[in-house]
Amino acid sequence: RILGEEHPDTITAMNNLANTLGAQGKLDESIAMFKNAYRKIVVLLGDHHPHSQVVCANLTRKSLGRFAILFLQTPQESEDELCQQTLSDFEQTFGSQHASTILLMKLIADLYERQDQLDKAERMYHRALEYSEDVSAPENTIHCGLISGLGRLYLRRGNWADADEVFRRELQRHEKAPGLEHTASIDAISGLYEVY
């Protein structure tokens, strides 16, 4: 009460309490506290401030952890609904073009692919890439993982032309920025090698 709810030290205390609640297995309370702290710190310091990024990382980690637990407990016929509800929650909390939301989209696309729901996986990869290309640097690991996932999905389907296009476009993107020795460039070259 002395510093007020909007003071950085108060928000840091909220972040610490949320971590403690999470460690006690109280995930829902922990996530609610992280969301409250995240909203306040972003208003106070902006999204790119280091303190905001710490709260964001904690919130993302706990939210993805809860998603993983719920996914393992959810009957297969309800998994898609859980994915969409979680994605909607992330979009409301972070926004569609935030790295945390794009990461969740990638994870959902990967899940769909592992379940042989290739059409759903492809749509989710494309959706995530649409947001990712606008906000990420060429060396962004989430974006690189999306390209790799989409390219490998095309390879799995025997769609060589699309796989070739995806990997070539990514290679060109990396030649302009981090260079051919960057690991993402090597992944794109590896994908092209698999095409041929």
pTM for this one? 0.83
Label residue 178 by pLDDT band (50, 70, 90): low
Clarify whether residues 62 and 100 are in a common domain. no
Give the type of residue at 98. Answer: H
Clarify whether residues 39 and 104 are in a common domain. no
Clarify whether residues 59 and 111 are in a common domain. no
Q: What is the pLDDT of residue 180?
A: 46
70: which residues sit within 8 A by CB, 6+ positions away?
Answer: 82, 86
Domain carrying residue 56: 1-73
Clarify whether residues 18 and 64 are in a common domain. yes
Upper half-sphere CA count for residue 114 (Cβ side, 13 Å):
7
Whether residue 108 is contained in a domain is answered as yes
Q: Percentage of the chain surpassing pLDDT 70?
A: 85
Where b means 16+ CB within 10 Å and e means fewer, 116-147 reads: ebeebbbebbebbbebbeeebebbbebbbbbb
Distance, CA of 111 to CA of 188 (rounded, Å): 22
CATH number where 147 lies: 1.25.40.10
CATH number where 50 lies: 1.25.40
Label residue 4 by pLDDT band (50, 70, 90): confident
pLDDT of 93 over the 90 cut? yes
